[in-house]
Amino acid sequence: MSGLLDFDDVVVTFAASAGMMSRLRGRTTSFNAVDHVSLSVARGEILGIVGESGSGKTTICKAALGLHSVAGGAVTLDGKPARLSDGTLQMVFQDPLSSLNPRQTIAEAIAIPLRLHGHAGRGNMAEAIDALLKDVGLGAQFRNRFPHELSGGQLQRAAIARALATNPRVLFADEAVSKLDVSVRAQILNLLKRLRDSHDLTIVFVTHDLHVARFLCDRIAIMYFGKLLEFGPTRAVYADPKHPYTQELLGTLDHERKSVASTRDVFNPLTDDRRACRYLNRCPHAMAACAERHPDFRGTGPGHATACYLYEEAET
């Protein structure tokens, strides 16, 4: 595995808040929000990580960025562990308003990383800021404005400009358009695509919005309660989803098809068996093997693999 960014058997553990009594009784109080995930991101691609709440999609990005500690495995950039002080990894957050310091002007917010990473000094600071603003489609008049004076789309552009200030190689975008008005989403999505080309960026885009993922991403990875269930080229996965969960997820796009109101609960990280397949409770094709061990990945097409016993294990 050697992409630009590699997730190698990453494990991130969360402690569930439980009282002392249940701990004494031996109830598990921690669970793996990211459970042995290996994924490779190729240079210049836009990889989508798709999942619902609790899937671990945001956690794995934060782990890469050092905002969560990694309990097992490693995240490497070009084979070496990435350091935050490098500025090589950056992030754009879901709520653009809270991702900017309310007391800093846009210019200040952008100047800080520029200065910190030595990309601009006192002499050329103003030009550097203006150049970044221009890259994201904001005019110079935004320099001295405060976050509360900007609209959602403008804020997200400013946040992207700030992220670009450290010359990152990989940009993580966590639901970057979910809080924006629909009429503004297209602007930001197009912008991200353009920046990928103009700034030689690799983008990891986390979302639960299947349409957005299809438009933006070259490859897609489906996560469910900490496990990676399927990944592959976007077109292939959408056209022919292999994992039953992916099928159910993509099925929501089809308005003719009625949803199956399953009475069975989703996976409970604290009580259900973690060795079994995560999707066991809801899977219509569950077999005996599924209850014993979570399946390994098996290839189902070029670059397309899934962790499901329904498919033959190939010798890849």
**Beta-sheet strand order (sheet of 170-174):** 89-92, 170-174, 202-207, 46-50, 219-224, 227-233, 304-306, 298-301
Nearer to other proteins, 86 or 130 (CB): 86
212-251 footprint of other proteins as x/- string (CB under 8 A):
x-xx-------------------x------------xx-x
Strands 227-233 and 219-224: antiparallel
Cα distances from 199 to residues 21, 62, 87, 136, 218, in angstroms, run 54, 22, 14, 11, 17
| Closest separation in Å from C-beta 206 to other proteins | 14
Nearer to other proteins, 140 or 314 (CB): 140
Site for other proteins contains 30 (CB under 8 A): no
Residues 48-107 that bind other proteins (CB under 8 A): 52-53, 62, 65-67, 83-87, 89-91, 93-95, 98-103
Nearer to other proteins, 12 or 298 (CB): 12
Nearer to other proteins, 47 or 212 (CB): 212
Contact segment (CB under 8 A) with other proteins among 16-24, 184-192, 291-299, 301-309 equals 184-192
> Do 224 and 51 form a contact (C-beta atoms < 8 A)?
yes
Residue 6 neighbours by CB under 8 Å, 6+ apart? 38, 39, 40, 41, 75, 76, 77, 79
DSSP string over 66-81: TSS--SEEEEEETTEE
**Per the structure block, which two tokens stand in for 291?**
């209850």
Which residues would be at the binding site for other proteins (CB under 8 A)? Answer: 52-53, 62, 65-67, 83-87, 89-91, 93-95, 98-103, 112-113, 116-117, 148-149, 151-154, 159, 162, 166, 181-187, 189-190, 193, 208, 210-212, 214-215, 235, 248-249, 251-253, 255, 258-259, 261, 263, 266
